[in-house]
Amino acid sequence: MERATRVGNRLLAALPPADFALLAPHLRKVPLQHDEVLVRSGDRIDHIYFPCSGAIALIMELPNGQTAATAVVGNDAAIGLMTALGPLRSPMTAVVRVAGAALQISPTRFQTALERSPALRGLVQLLSRALMTQIQHVAACNALHSVEARLARWLLHIHDRTDGGDVLPLTQETLSELLGVRRTTVTHVIGALRTSRALKSSRRGQLEIDRRRLEVVACECYKVMSRRIDRIVSQDALKVLHAAPPPNDSLPPDVPFAKADS
């Protein structure tokens, strides 16, 4: 538990010390600012981010300008790990929706460590499975369930990845982007959630939720998706990382981060 607190990101914290030491000198702690775009669709991925706090939405942008969220990630995931497969351009836009902090590393540095660490390769596979599970389930949910139930699900996913209490810093524009609907539809859905008291208040740029009531409104996708993702990144699943042989020329396990910016 002590190391998980120090590292912040669940995936990095699960690595064996010798494998984490391959990354540690090159990790730089950076703030994640609200509404910051970490990478845009079609752009080259210049940085990999391992969030320690906050929530990041992955947004699919269509040629006609419409957008919709495909996933929300926090300290259980990473942004930009597809570069492990080679120099790629991002298929989605990653936007910070709840401010926090992350450990940042260049794709080149990560790729070098990846070549020396079977455990890191296992980490990339685990993350890919968890992210694909969420994207596939979101696609099915969007086709089958009401906008009200889907918004409740997104709010619960974001709340799971924040530590700021029951007030979420989300604008109607952000909710429209998450859901792929017009702002007029968002206004109607927010009104319905307030009527059911799943939302206590909806001031400009802030939503105060009642989590218990929100879980009642949300479709079953929230619990099913959460269970499946938790199972993938559970401690039992992460034990496979420790089964990999350690790198032969690793650094000592307590090497500090290269730089930590507040």
User: Is 204 in the same domain as 119?
Assistant: no
- Residue 62 sits in the same domain as residue 157: no
pLDDT at residue 256 above 50?
Answer: no
Question: Looking at the structure, do residues 37 and 120 belong to the same domain, yes or no?
Answer: yes
What mean pLDDT is predicted for residues 174-178? 90
Residue 113 makes CB contacts below 8 A (sequence gap 6+) with 19, 22, 23, 26, 120
Q: Which residue has the tokens 């790729």?
A: 111
When pLDDT is averaged across residues 56-60 and rounded to a whole number, the result is: 93
pLDDT band at 247 (very low <50, low <70, confident <90, very high): low
Q: What percent of the chain has pLDDT over 70?
A: 84
* Residue given tokens 């990560």 in the structure block: 110
- Separation of alpha carbons 5 and 7, rounded Å: 6
Work out how many domains the chain is built from and give that number: 2
Q: Do residues 24 and 123 share a domain?
A: yes
Q: Is 121 exposed, middle or buried (0-12, 13-18, 19+ CB in 10 A)?
A: middle
- pLDDT at res. 251: 42
Q: How many CA atoms lie within 13 A of 7 on its CB side?
A: 25
Higher confidence at residue 162 or residue 216? 216
pLDDT, tens digit, for every residue of 117-127?
Answer: 988 988 888 88
Residue 22 included in any domain: yes
203-245: pLDDT as tens digits: 888 899 999 999 999 999 889 888 887 777 665 556 666 666 6
83, 200: one domain = no
Residue 254 pLDDT greater than 50, yes or no: no
- 109 and 127 housed in the same domain: yes
Whole-prediction pTM value? 0.84
Whether residue 223 lies inside any domain: the answer is: no
Q: What is the pLDDT of residue 213?
A: 95
Residues 198 and 214 in one domain: yes
Please check whether residue 227 lies inside any domain of the structure.
no
> Is a pLDDT exceeding 80 seen at residue 248?
no
> Do 96 and 36 share a structural domain?
yes
The CA-atom distances, in angstroms, between 203 and each of 167, 187, 206 are 10, 12, 5
Q: Which domain holds residue 174?
A: 146-218
Tell whether 167 and 68 lie within a shared domain.
no
CATH number at residue 202: 1.10.10.10
- Burial level of 257, CB count in 10 A (0-12/13-18/19+)? middle
**What number is the average pLDDT over the span 54-82?**
88
Q: What is the mean pLDDT of residues 165-178?
A: 90
Asked whether the beta carbons of 250 and 21 are under 8 A apart, the reply is yes
Q: Which of 5-14, 73-82, 129-138 has the lowest mean pLDDT?
A: 5-14
Model pLDDT, residue 134: 87
Residue 232 in domain? no
Specify burial of residue 258 (Cβ count, 10 A radius: 0-12, 13-18, 19+).
middle
Contacts of 85 by beta carbon, 8 Å cutoff, 6+ apart: none
- CATH code of residue 81: 2.60.120.10
Mean pLDDT of the chain: 84
Rounded mean pLDDT of 141-148? 91
9 and 77 share one domain: yes
